[in-house]
Structures are given as C-alpha cells and as structure tokens.
Amino acid sequence: MSSRTSDVLVIGGGIIGLVTAWRAAQRGLATAVVDPEPGGGAARVAAGMLAAVTELHYGEETLLGLNLASARRYPQFAAELTELTGHDLGYRRCGTLAVALDADDRAHLRELHALQQRCGLESQWLSGRECRRLEPMLAPGVRGGLRVDGDHQIDPRRLAAALVVACERSGVVFHRVRAERLDVAGGRATGVTTADGAALGAGQVVLAAGSLSGRLAGVPKEVLPPVRPVKGEVLRLAVPPRYAPFLSRTVRAVVRGGQLYLVPRENGELVVGATSEELGWDTTVTAGGVYELLRDAHELVPGITELPLTETRAGLRPGSPDNAPLLGPSALAGLLLATGHYRNGVLLTPVTGDVLAHALVTGELPDEARPFTPRRFGAAPMEQLEQPV
Ligand code: GLY
C-alpha cells in the first residue's frame, strides 16, 4: 500500500527529470521527484553546448528535427526560467566554430558542411586565415572551418540549480532518497519503493534516471529501456582576466577521430571535452583521458597550457541504440520514459519538458515526438546490459 501519493512521480532529478516535473506541475498535476541529490547527474559534468548543427551526424536527420525544435525554444525557455528563479543560467548566444587541423579533418568537415546544406542548415565555410581572424588563439596550422552562428551554450550546473528552484516554486515535492524498485500492480506502474523502504504511489510514473534508467528493479524486461552508460571525461580551466577573451565562441574539432570541444563561459571558465568510452558505470578520471584532452586541445589552441586546470570529472551519457531519446508512454500502463538523450541532454531539455507534460496530460505524444516513442524498440533483456559494480 502506498504511503504517499501524487499524480506524477518522476524517478531521477537530473535536468530531464526536473524539467519534466516542472512542466507537469505547471499543468496542474501534483508532482513529486525521487532522487537522493536533485540537480546532480550528467549535467554536473556536461559542457552545455546547444549544438544541433555542429553535432549533426549521418543517419540522425530525424533527431535533428527534435534538436532544432528544442534549440528554437531555448531563448523563451531560458527567459522564463530566469524570470521565475532569478538565476543567471550562463546562456550565451555566442555561436560555434568547428575547425580542421589536417587534410583528413578538412575532408570530414567538408562532408559535414555538405550534409548541413542538404538539411537546410546555416553554416559558413571559412579558410584557416578567416578562422584565426575570428579566434586569434587558434593554432597557425588550422586548415579551415565551419562558422555556425546558431549553435550556442548554457551552463548545465546553473540550469540544474535553477530547475530545482523552479520545481520548488511550482509545488513539486522532492523525496531525497534512491528509488529502489518500480511497483507494479494489475499490469500498471503504481509508484516506487525507496531505499529506505517507503512506498511512493503515483497515478503515473516517469523514468528519467539517465544512464541508470536501464537497471531499475521491478521494470518488466520488455519495458526496460535499452539505455547504456557512455563515459565522458571533461576538464575545466580558468581564463585569468589578463588572457581574456581567450576564445569568444565554442571551438570544436575532430582530432584523431575523437570529438574535442572548448566551451568558454562568460565567467572565465573554459570547459574542454570530451572522451567517449563504453566502460559500464566506471567514472574514474584517468591520466590517459586528461592527457588526450590536453594534448588535442593544445594542438588546437596552444596557449591553453598557460591556464590553471581547475577540475577534472567524468560523467555518463545515457546512450540509446539509435542515439535518440526515448520519450513518452511505455508498453506498461502508467509508466512513461524520458531517457536515452545521449549527447543531447542539455539541448533537448526544453522540448523534453513540453513533450512529457503533453503526454502526461493527454496520454499521447505530440507529432514532433512520435518518432521517439520507446515502443520503437523491442525487449531489452537485462543480461544484455552490463551490471553496475
Ligand atoms: N554533446 C557533447 C558530448 O556528449 O560530449
């Protein structure tokens, strides 16, 4: 028997769970979040690029539509959140420059440019000299680049903190404890049992536990989302005032096949990411990961070695089989999913909140989100997912 009930119970207080809870509460639903540390999760590590255009990949054109829909919502979303909470989100409409360091990178970037043009996206090819005119700290060897003025950034830590406050102001109840298992009765999700043995009942449950979404006990096998952790190591440096502005926009490149990006914040923080490794739930920061990021960043922007290194961290992206999120009703009545956002969690935050609120109120996905129904995947047997240590 459930001891406490709500209309909606969201499992996971990362940015995806929080935005879902906030938007649900705004629709008049009595909403609760269960998470030992709301505002934590992958957003503690993420750089916060809003990179629908520069992170476009072949075969991900459907995802592009959702990414662009969310990018369009960002100005209004950020303004609403700031007005409600008074928090500065570090939302910076600075654009992005993707550069090439050698002939292979240049060919890769040319192909990306052609794909962007086929998709009707705005990006401009620049020579190496034009790139360095925009960003004088770039290495002299830069061979060319793509200027994308529509790919911006936000500070995910500030975003998460503001979403916690927005939830509180909107009446969302926080249960600061771990959800141990999903409760199911009569073929329907009815709530969760927490690590301290409490039963939290709900009319509808949203599983938004990031990379952990695929391992919640009690979720029937055929409903368990096929989400896996993809490790990313990220560095933070500080730009002393005498070096400012070190970079004036996000700068990124593919170096030796890996994605490298440098995200300069207005407050002087410079975020450098990211490795991408499939190592289960390991979040160790390794000497090798830090070395690779610094080596590649130094090749791109040699002056980076002068900057104080202030933080190293690793987080887990919630990867899905097609790199796109799982949004909306699952095959189990009463259970909705908001997970599998992989590389685009920060970008997809506004649209996820709107889509999930719509689904919670109407039982249906809005048209723009239909391709992302969790039902596009069959069963994901537990044994296929590596268990945490
Ligand atoms: N979107 C950046 C990353 O996943 O590393």
Burial of 63 (0-12, 13-18, 19+ CB in 10 A): buried
Pocket test for ligand 1, best of 152, 252, 317, 348 (most atoms within 8 A of CB): 317
Q: Is the pLDDT of residue 94 over 50?
A: yes
Q: Is the pLDDT of residue 381 over 70?
A: no
Predicted pLDDT of residue 383: 44
Distance CA 246, CA 315 (A): 26
Alpha carbon 44 to its chain's center = 10
- Structure token digits, residue 230: 């993809």
Please give all residues whose beta carbon lies within 6 A of any atom in ligand 1, as ranges.
49, 55, 232, 273-274, 317, 343
Strands 124-126 and 250-255, by their bridges, are unpaired
Q: Is the pLDDT of residue 226 over 80?
A: yes
Cross-strand bridge partners of residue 146 = 98, 125
Q: What whole-number percentage of the chain has pLDDT above 70?
A: 96
Measure 47 CA to ligand 1 centroid, in angstroms: 7
Alpha carbon 302 to its chain's center = 29
Full-prediction pTM beyond 0.85? yes
Span 98-123, average pLDDT: 95
Span 305-322, average pLDDT: 97
Pocket test for ligand 1, best of 231, 233, 254, 261 (most atoms within 8 A of CB): 261
Could you tell me if 143 and 127 are in contact, meaning their C-beta atoms sit under 8 angstroms apart?
A: no
Predicted pLDDT of residue 389: 34
Report the CATH number of the 96-149+229-319 domain: 3.30.9.10
Write the residue with the smallest CA distance to atom 2 of ligand 1.
343
- DSSP letter, residue 57: -
3-state secondary structure of 115: helix
CA distances from 365 to 16, 89, 355 (A): 17, 29, 7
Tell me, yes or no, if the two domains 4-44+158-226+321-385 and 96-149+229-319 fold the same way. no
248-278 pLDDT, tens digit per residue, is: 999 999 888 889 999 999 999 999 999 999 9
Burial of 140 (0-12, 13-18, 19+ CB in 10 A): exposed
Predicted pLDDT of residue 3: 58
Distance CA 46, CA 343 (A): 9
Measure 274 CA to ligand 1 centroid, in angstroms: 7
Predicted pLDDT of residue 378: 76
Helices (H), the chain: 15-26, 61-85, 103-118, 128-134, 156-169, 287-300, 349-362
Could you tell me if 11 and 17 are in contact, meaning their C-beta atoms sit under 8 angstroms apart?
A: yes
Pocket test for ligand 1, best of 45, 49, 233 (most atoms within 8 A of CB): 49
Residue 379 pLDDT grade (very low, low, confident, very high; cuts 50, 70, 90): low
| Torsion, CA 168, CA 326, CA 335, CA 186, rounded to 10 | -170
Span 374-382, average pLDDT: 72
Q: Is the pLDDT of residue 363 over 90?
A: yes
Write the residue with the smallest CA distance to atom 4 of ligand 1.
343
51-76 pLDDT, tens digit per residue, is: 999 999 999 999 999 999 999 999 99
Pocket test for ligand 1, best of 45, 55, 56 (most atoms within 8 A of CB): 55
Domain boundaries, the chain: 4-44+158-226+321-385, 96-149+229-319
Predicted pLDDT of residue 387: 42
Measure 252 CA to ligand 1 centroid, in angstroms: 11
Residue 385 pLDDT grade (very low, low, confident, very high; cuts 50, 70, 90): very low
Span 29-42, average pLDDT: 98
Q: Is the pLDDT of residue 382 over 70?
A: no
The rounded mean pLDDT for the chain is 95
Write the residue with the smallest CA distance to atom 5 of ligand 1.
274
Q: Does CATH place domain 4-44+158-226+321-385 in 3.40.50.300?
A: no
Predicted pLDDT of residue 254: 87
